[in-house]
């Protein structure tokens, strides 16, 4: 089994190498805008770095991890060789080509528009084409996931799709539809301007298209993490999955509710009607449902593990948990960060509360805590769990792995807690420097230093992560066959939760209902175009 070994390794190595570079950029950004450094002479260098950090962390890292993990799941859960290996390599090379293509204008300062594009700012067309190639590469993965599932179903008519594959394909379909928003923005609005066919751009419409992608992309990043929660954690700590059905319900709920909520990123945008903002805010509240269900199910699964190990009492079982097991540690850290980050997210999605934190460092704190914290720490777990399978190495050194997870957790809290605090005080985000000599800001200077320290801890954790993977020797032993979690009770999976037709249909229908009118009316209004602002000057 496992013909896709080299394929998965290639995806993971490129993802983690890019991650290692981008995290250094992040820490540099934190340092230059702190009181420890003089003001940066050329603020454009700062935005260049922010663009590269965001592009790698938001597009390259999670896409490659999701793709690599997806190929691994296909072979491990379906227990059959991957169909379409050549296509998979093609997709991989497209992602690499796109990354290189986007990096060149970014490094030259011709694409400092941040990864969220922000029209009417217009970067070099190479940057957008690079991002398009990354997305097209990932679409090949989406198609392959679908093809492999179909091939498996043909061989196993009527069988229940293994949970890991179910989540994996849900994530693939989620991404396919999510990425359409940004793809439309780039192809219809941005590229014609970047290539010089047009001088003006409908910035409002472009923002609406991007919001379609911008929030749901987070759930695409989240999917590998949730798959790990449900299918790796209970097994790794010696427990059972409390409910397989609950897992499937939360996967399909993400599919349905991820897309039609993106306008909560546009609460301050005047071109969106108050009614649509309200509807999107309400729907955003709905995505807390699958997350709360997941927290419940995983805590219940963890309790099963504790009781199997002899844990007693309503709370006494917590002591019986295998706290020296890195996966136990990671899932705890992940839930703590998910808890804080999620609570912050509910504040962000509330129409009125959003006013106080909109475009402040609070938002930066929120998405670093959720993505960099809760999600990425489980990417580490996925890599640690798969590494013996991929390389045939001996078990990874548990002490170093625990240290790495602790450093990442502590570093992320030290980085983001001050951001949340100063965000409430009104510190704007996306600033290359702050005037700490001003009495109004002097009191906030220490928080930025604290974040620099948090960032430094994260850099150490990232380097330790790469070192642990790097020093694992290839081919030392033949790894035991990989297993996924087993449900605690025999499950009967309803037919609706053994397929995607209804849920994909609902996903598309809700998107059309919630986005159709705003997109149509902005597209038809003649007076919404503004002159483009080209980056990189002349």
3-state secondary structure 1-19: CCCCHHHHHHHHHHHHHHH
Kindly state whether residue 517 participates in binding another protein, applying the rule CB under 8 A.
yes
**In the complex, what is the shortest distance from the CB of residue 35 to another protein, in angstroms, rounded to a whole number?**
14
Kindly state whether residue 10 participates in binding another protein, applying the rule CB under 8 A.
no
Kindly state whether residue 282 participates in binding another protein, applying the rule CB under 8 A.
no
Write the CB contacts of 480 (distance below 8 Å, at least 6 apart in sequence): none
Residues 158, 274, 352, 474: which binds another protein (CB under 8 A)? 274
Kindly state whether residue 120 participates in binding another protein, applying the rule CB under 8 A.
no
Ordered DSSP codes for 388-442: HHHH-PPPP-HHHHHHHHHHHHHHHHHHHHHHHHHHHHT-BSS-S---TTSHHHH
The CA distance from 257 to 255, in Å, is 6
Kindly state whether residue 118 participates in binding another protein, applying the rule CB under 8 A.
no
Q: Which residue has the tokens 């957790």?
A: 409
- Specify the DSSP class assigned to residue 487: B
The CA distance from 33 to 436, in Å, is 10
- Of the candidates 16, 92, 367, 484, the residue annotated as catalytic is 367
Catalytic site includes residue 219: yes
Kindly state whether residue 114 participates in binding another protein, applying the rule CB under 8 A.
no
Kindly state whether residue 426 participates in binding another protein, applying the rule CB under 8 A.
no
**In the complex, what is the shortest distance from the CB of residue 44 to another protein, in angstroms, rounded to a whole number?**
5
**Cβ neighbours around 377 below 10 Å, total:** 25
Kindly state whether residue 445 participates in binding another protein, applying the rule CB under 8 A.
no
**Segment 173-212, which members bind another protein (CB under 8 A)?**
196, 199-200
Catalytic site includes residue 240: no
Burial of 5 (0-12, 13-18, 19+ CB in 10 A): middle
Residues 87, 296, 433, 446: which binds another protein (CB under 8 A)? 433
Kindly state whether residue 275 participates in binding another protein, applying the rule CB under 8 A.
yes
Catalytic site includes residue 215: yes
The CA distance from 514 to 283, in Å, is 10
- Of the candidates 48, 248, 366, 420, the residue annotated as catalytic is 366
Kindly state whether residue 443 participates in binding another protein, applying the rule CB under 8 A.
no
Kindly state whether residue 278 participates in binding another protein, applying the rule CB under 8 A.
yes
In 115-162, which ranges are continuous DSSP H helix? 125-155
**Judged by CB, which is closer to another protein: 147, or 191?**
191
Kindly state whether residue 44 participates in binding another protein, applying the rule CB under 8 A.
yes
Catalytic site includes residue 430: yes
Kindly state whether residue 234 participates in binding another protein, applying the rule CB under 8 A.
no
Which helix H or strand E contains 283, and what residues bound it? helix 274-286
Residue ranges that bind another protein, judged by CB under 8 A: 39-44, 196, 199-200, 271-276, 278, 431, 433-435, 438, 440-441, 517-518, 521, 525, 531-538
Which are the catalytic amino acids?
215, 219, 366-368, 429-430
């Amino acid at each position: 089994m496992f013909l896709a070994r080299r394929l998965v390794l290639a995806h993971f190595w490129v993802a983690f190498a890019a991650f290692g570079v981008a995290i250094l950029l992040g820490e540099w950004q934190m340092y230059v805008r702190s009181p420890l450094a003089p003001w940066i002479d050329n603020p454009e260098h700062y935005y260049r770095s922010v663009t590269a950090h965001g592009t790698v962390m938001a597009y390259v890292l999670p896409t490659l991890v999701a793709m690599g993990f997806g190929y691994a799941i296909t072979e491990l859960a379906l227990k059959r060789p991957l169909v379409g290996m050549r296509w998979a390599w093609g997709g991989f090379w497209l992602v690499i080509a796109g990354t290189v293509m986007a990096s060149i204008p970014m490094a030259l300062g011709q694409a400092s528009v941040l990864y969220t594009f922000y029209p009417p700012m217009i970067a070099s067309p190479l940057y957008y084409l690079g991002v398009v190639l990354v997305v097209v590469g990932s679409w090949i993965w989406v198609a392959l996931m679908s093809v492999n599932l179909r091939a498996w179903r043909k061989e196993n008519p009527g069988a229940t799709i293994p949970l890991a594959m179910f989540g994996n394909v849900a994530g693939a379909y989620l991404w396919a539809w999510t990425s359409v928003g940004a793809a439309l923005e780039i192809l219809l609005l941005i590229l014609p301007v970047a290539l010089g066919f047009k001088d003006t751009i409908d910035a409002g419409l472009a923002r609406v298209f991007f919001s379609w992608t911008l929030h749901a992309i987070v759930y695409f990043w989240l999917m590998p993490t949730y798959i790990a929660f449900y299918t790796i954690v209970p097994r790794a700590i010696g427990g059972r999955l409390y409910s397989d059905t609950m897992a499937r319900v939360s996967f399909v709920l993400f599919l349905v509710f991820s897309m039609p909520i993106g306008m909560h990123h546009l609460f301050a945008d005047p071109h969106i009607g108050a009614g649509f903002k309200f509807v999107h805010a309400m729907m955003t509240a709905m995505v807390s449902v699958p997350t709360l269900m997941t927290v419940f199910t995983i805590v219940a699964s963890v309790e099963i593990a504790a009781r199997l190990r002899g844990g007693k009492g309503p709370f006494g079982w917590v002591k019986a948990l295998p706290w020296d097991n890195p996966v136990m540690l990671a899932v705890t850290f992940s839930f703590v960060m998910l808890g804080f980050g999620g609570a912050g997210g509910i504040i962000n999605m509330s129409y009125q509360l959003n006013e106080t934190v909109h475009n402040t460092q609070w938002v930066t704190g929120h998405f670093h805590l959720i993505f960099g914290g809760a999600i990425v720490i489980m990417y580490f777990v996925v890599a640690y769990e798969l590494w013996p399978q991929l390389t045939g190495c001996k078990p990874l050194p548990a002490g170093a792995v625990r240290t790495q997870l602790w450093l990442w957790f502590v570093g992320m809290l030290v980085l983001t807690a001050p951001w949340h605090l100063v965000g409430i005080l009104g510190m704007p985000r996306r600033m290359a420097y702050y005037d700490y000599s001003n009495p109004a800001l002097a009191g906030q200077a220490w928080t930025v230093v604290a974040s620099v320290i948090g960032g430094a801890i994260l850099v150490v954790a990232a380097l330790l992560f790469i070192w642990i993977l790097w020093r694992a020797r290839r081919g030392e032993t033949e790894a035991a066959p990989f297993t996924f979690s087993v449900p605690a009770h025999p499950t009967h999976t309803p037919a609706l939760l053994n397929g995607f037709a209804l849920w994909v249909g609902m996903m598309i229908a809700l998107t059309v209902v919630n986005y159709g009118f705003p997109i149509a009316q902005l597209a038809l209004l003649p007076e919404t175009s503004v002159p483009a602002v080209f980056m990189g000057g002349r």
